[in-house]
Chains A and B, each alone.
Chain A
Amino acid sequence: MKILIPIKRVVDANVRVRIRSDGSGVETEHLKMAMNPFDEIAVEEAIRMKEAGSAEDLVAVSIGGPRTPETLRTALAMGADRAVHVLVEGEVQPLEVAKLLRAVVEREQPRLVLMGKQAIDDDSNQTPQMLAALLGWAQATYASRIRLEGEELEVAREVDEGIEVVRVRLPAVVSVDLRLNEPRYASLPNIMKAKRKPVATLTPAELGVDVTPRLVYTRFEEPPGRKAGVKVASVQELVEKLQAEGVFG
């Protein structure tokens, strides 16, 4: 089975972003970048499926600017076989990402697309569902366990009520949640080996997709701040403060 793994290059989860002084956007220049954490989990899961003998060809794909191949190399160093870079400068929104991914799916013909449930920069949580819709495929979102059973996948999904188990027909799109696995670190020899793995480059024009954003972000602001309050010296003092706030009725 061939698996396509869409990954996004984002500002590292431990870095705090700043708003540009003119309010025109978020300053991302010179910040530490990384693979979207959920996408690392998707890459890890694909590698485990390959190690278990249920997948052969693992193709990582990323849409982004000229430095995107750095992030694709991480996926290759972890264990993906090859990579596709769709070169686009500037912002690409989920619907357009989904359309580009559909075009890549049509070329690559994977049986499974494994991807993160959410990008930690835009926090959209849309692209997997949109891709599944465009392909007319099943979608299993927020996966915390995936089991291949013949022509179906059984997926445990993290939902607000607990865990929901669904069965989806292949081909399918699966989006992964944090507890699916613990992604591996790439070893030095594998990082070296990854340098020789192929990375193909495509453009939206070659894929026939218009990537003009539909949504216009017109303002970026600091959220209303919270001020640190007071330290209380004891449980007794805490209870008194809460009583004064009228918490107990």
Chain B
Amino acid sequence: MSALVLAQHDGGRLEAATLNTVTAAGKLAEAVDVLVAGRAVEQVAREAARVAGVRRVITAEADHLAHPMAEDLAPLVVQQAEPYTHLLAPATTFGKNVMPRVAALLDVAQISDIVEVLGPDRFRRYIYAGNVLTTVESRDAKKVITVRTTAFPPAQAEGGAAEMVAVEAPPATGLARFVGREVHRSERPELTSARFVVSGGRGLGSKENFRLVEELADALGAAVGASRAAVDAGFAPNDWQVGQTGKIVAPELYIAVGISGAIQHLAGMKDSKIIVAINKDEEAPIFQVADYGLVADLFKAVPELTEAIRKLKANPGA
């Protein structure tokens, strides 16, 4: 058994999600190779070669892969697929976009968003917004898989010494082209791998008020998340959405502020280690999953909490 992991990277660095995917691949196969596609990605390839457990790094460089489109990436993965029993990518918007295209070209089913490997052809995944945990078996000769990154620890970034090979990518399809990206830059930790996450919901009432959530997050050194309602209302950017259709997070501490706890939101955060909920409605469903619930007006409680944490950080002994 051997597995190929499609690397997610930003052109300069390997994304953390790739490391979680390598771990999942390692549970399926003795040999794990990584495919790095892009333009001038030698640095990324070297980084991938140092990841513990990687046998070989395959690099495909081409101008048209600078911002790789699924239309161009999928034929490359298919071109490389022959020797592998398993093809994997993280279940990020990157991996979710490409891998079904790969699967269809290979005429195999895709297993989406796995949370556990039970064997080379048996996996666990959630359906119905996290309400049902299933075991699924694939009879296809090749398994195309996306991996829920929070369900697998990252592989060690250092310690490996993989062989490096270069391949030629298939020509550009010309079907789609990258125009630009509106990226929300931030000094804060990345949402899906952060140790702490503070999320705000509709209860914040406005974009200005949402700053209360951001201030609490900054006091803690946390990433900021949001409910769909908060994003829809324009309080927060789309890439902060946590849930069934947003990001899946599983931090050590998740603080939900002014979030009711709809099933679609819980689907994205219920594997967090400690959940804190601050909500003025004591009947809010979020309290059914919260380890610590504070029934309070957030406009009073959140600034108080931010202040208390700032004090603690300034004076840890007290």
Which of B38-46, B47-55, B171-179, B205-213 makes up part of the contact surface?
B171-179
A: residues with CB less than 8 A from B are 11, 13, 16-17, 19, 26, 93-95, 98, 117-118, 120-134, 137-142, 144, 154, 157-169, 172, 177-179, 213-224, 226, 228-232, 234-236, 238-239, 241-243, 245, 247-249
Is B105 an interface residue when CB atoms closer than 8 A count as contact? Answer: yes
- Residue numbers in B under 8 Å from A229 (CB-CB): 275, 290-293
In this complex, what residue of B is CB-closest to A158? B238
Which B residues are CB-close (under 8 A) to A161? 181, 183-184, 239
Q: How far is the CA of A160 from the CA of B15 in the complex (A)?
A: 12
Provide the residues of chain A in CB contact with B109, threshold 8 Å: 93-95, 213-215
4 closest Cβ pairs, A-B complex: A229-B291, A129-B100, A219-B135, A130-B104
Given A95-B103, A216-B137, A222-B133, 14 new contacts (CB under 8 A): A118-B245, A129-B97, A130-B103, A133-B100, A139-B71, A214-B108, A214-B138, A217-B137, A218-B136, A226-B288, A229-B293, A231-B282, A239-B308, A248-B313
What is the total of A-B residue contacts with beta carbons within 8 Å?
248
B9 at the interface (CB under 8 A from A): no
**Segment from B21-29, B56-64, B122-130 that makes contact with A:** B122-130
Indicate whether B274 reaches chain A with its CB closer than 8 angstroms.
yes
A170 CB, min distance to chain B CBs, angstroms: 10
Q: Is the CB of B312 within 8 A of A162?
A: no
22 A–B pairs (Cβ distance < 8 Å), ordered by A? A95-B109, A125-B96, A130-B104, A133-B105, A138-B176, A139-B176, A144-B238, A159-B93, A162-B183, A162-B238, A164-B182, A179-B238, A214-B138, A216-B139, A220-B134, A228-B289, A228-B293, A235-B301, A239-B305, A239-B309, A242-B253, A249-B316
Q: In the complex, are the beta carbons of B289 and A223 less than 8 A apart?
A: no
**Contact at B126–A248, with CB atoms within 8 Å?**
no
- Are B126 and A140 closer than 8 Å at their CB atoms? no
Query: Which of B126, B174, B244, B312 is close to A169, meaning CB atoms less than 8 Å apart?
Result: B174
Give the distance in Å from the alpha carbon of A179 to the alpha carbon of B240 in the complex. 14
Tell me which of B97, B132, B179, B293 contacts A17 (CB under 8 A). B132
Q: Chain A contacts of B175 at CB under 8 A?
A: 137-138, 168-169, 172
Is B65 close to A, CB under 8 A?
no
Q: Please give the number of chain B residues whose Cβ is less than 8 angstroms from any Cβ of chain A in the complex.
A: 89
Instruction: Name A166's contact: one of B107, B177, B232, B290 (CB within 8 Å).
Output: B177
Contact pick for A226, options B237, B275, B292, CB 8 Å = B275
A238-B239 CB under 8 A given contacts A123-B127, A130-B101, A165-B180: no
Asked if A166 contacts B103 (CB within 8 A), the reply is no
Which of A132, A163, A238 is B182 in contact with, Cβ under 8 Å?
A163
Q: What residues of chain A lie closer than 8 Å to B93, measured between beta carbons? A: 141-142, 157-160
- Most A CB atoms within 10 A — which of B105, B126, B176? B176
Return chain A residues, CB-CB under 8 Å to B237.
162
A164–B183 Cα distance when bound, in Å, is 8
- The answer on a CB contact under 8 Å between B179 and A165 is yes
Q: Which residues of B contact A159 (CB under 8 A)?
A: 93-94, 181, 239
Q: Is the CB of B131 within 8 A of A17?
A: yes
Give chain B's interface secondary structure class: mixed
Question: Chain A interface secondary structure, helix, strand, loop or mixed?
Answer: mixed
Q: Could you say which residues of chain B place their CB within 8 Å of the CB of A157?
A: 93
Chain A positions within 8 Å of B129 at CB level: 120, 123
CB-CB under 8 A from A232, the residues of chain B are 292-294
Contact A26 B138 (CB under 8 A): no
Task: Out of B104, B127, B316, name the residue touching A133 (CB < 8 Å).
Answer: B104
The reply on B74 being an interface residue by CB < 8 A is yes
Residues in A whose Cβ lies below 8 Å from that of B98: 129
- With A166-B178, A236-B308 as known contacts, state yes or no: A160 contacts B244, CB within 8 Å: no
Is B138 a contact of A238 with CB atoms below 8 Å?
Answer: no
Given the known inter-chain contacts A142-B93, A169-B175, please indicate yes or no for A218 contacting B71, CB distance below 8 A: no
Residues of A within 8 A of B69 (CB): 166
**Which residues of chain A have C-beta atoms less than 8 A from B228's C-beta?**
178
A229 to chain B, nearest CB (A): 4
Q: Whose C-beta in chain A lies nearest to the C-beta of B296?
A: A235
A233: nearest residue on chain B (CB-CB)?
A: B294
Contacts of B291 in A (CB 8 A): 229-230
Do residues A94 and B110 form an inter-chain contact, with CB atoms below 8 A? yes
In whole angstroms, how far apart are the Cα atoms of A93 and B132 in the complex?
17
Determine whether B36 belongs to the interface, using a CB cutoff of 8 Å to chain A.
Answer: no
Residues of B within 8 A of A179 (CB): 231-232, 238
For B251-287 the 0/1 string (1 means CB < 8 A from A) is 0110000000001100000100011100000100001
Tell me if B304 counts as interface (CB < 8 A to partner A): yes
A223 touches B133 (CB 8 A): yes
Name the interface residues of B107-124: CB closer than 8 Å to any CB of A: 107-113, 122
B139 CB to closest chain A CB, in angstroms?
6
- Residue B158, interface by CB 8 Å: no
Give the residues in chain A near B111, CB-CB below 8 Å.
215
B161 at interface by CB-CB < 8 Å: no
Decide: A134 near B179, CB < 8 A? Known: A232-B292, A248-B312.
no
**Given known contacts A138-B176, A139-B70, A242-B276, A248 and B316 CB-to-CB distance under 8 angstroms:** yes
Question: Of all chain B residues, which has the CB nearest A236?
Answer: B308
